[in-house]
Structure 1
Amino acid sequence: HKMILEKDHISKSNPSTKLVKGPNIWNVVVIDNIDFKNIVFKYRNIYDVIRQFIYATLRMVFQFELPFSISSLTQENPNPQENLFGQLVFTSEWNDKFDQIIEQLLNKYKKNFGVKEINNEILTIIESKC
């Protein structure tokens, strides 16, 4: 009986009624598909594994009240194509280092190198900094 009431309550609930609405409310929505694996196949047929998953969709809204209207953001930004988040200096430096590593390996081995050689070169850079 309790489960029936719970299912009824869930089906009648409308979470959108709990959302704050207004010109200065910024909503960040997160939607994620989650797969839960029931058990690992140890001695079972590998093709039976599909039946042992549970799928769920996570939907969340984070709401922030801004001190100004959202519509003023588009009016003040003359270049809407501009990136909202820039690249960190650290990331930019590592991209350059990685490019140098690939270039050095291409000069040294031409085409005959792989992940092992790349990792070894990265480790030499990291170890020299420590």
Structure 2
Amino acid sequence: MGFYPRELHELLASARAEQQTPAWKSRYAMRAGVESTINEFVHGHGMRRCRYRSRDRAHAQHVLTAIAINVERISAQAPGSPGHHPRQPTAFQNYLDHRGLPRPRKWRATGLTRTPRFPTDSASDRAR
């Protein structure tokens, strides 16, 4: 066990005493919120390393990741919370409701996979 030099001990004691004041706690509360956001950004979305080298592409990656985090946070809000506004049903959902057909909450719940945006190469393309 070691002891700090007198100057360092006094500095630590004054810093610890300041941490008990309401003004310091209010400043730290803001920092704690930012720290949790940065932690989610780094650990939850792999932002410790950037995928791109150019500054513009790196900035685009950061902006799009921030948008994704905001979308996740908005979608995680409870339906009864003050910030939640449910979307109006689409025409297709109204059609399903009118016909009495069940509509799953998410397309993943149906077990169906999405069709690819671009068709794969056909046998005639491979022959060329």
When normalised by structure 2's length, the TM-score is 0.30
- Structure with the larger helix share: 2
When normalised by structure 1's length, the TM-score is 0.30
- Structure with the larger strand share: 1
Query: Larger relative CO (CA 8 A, sep 6+): 1 or 2?
Result: 1
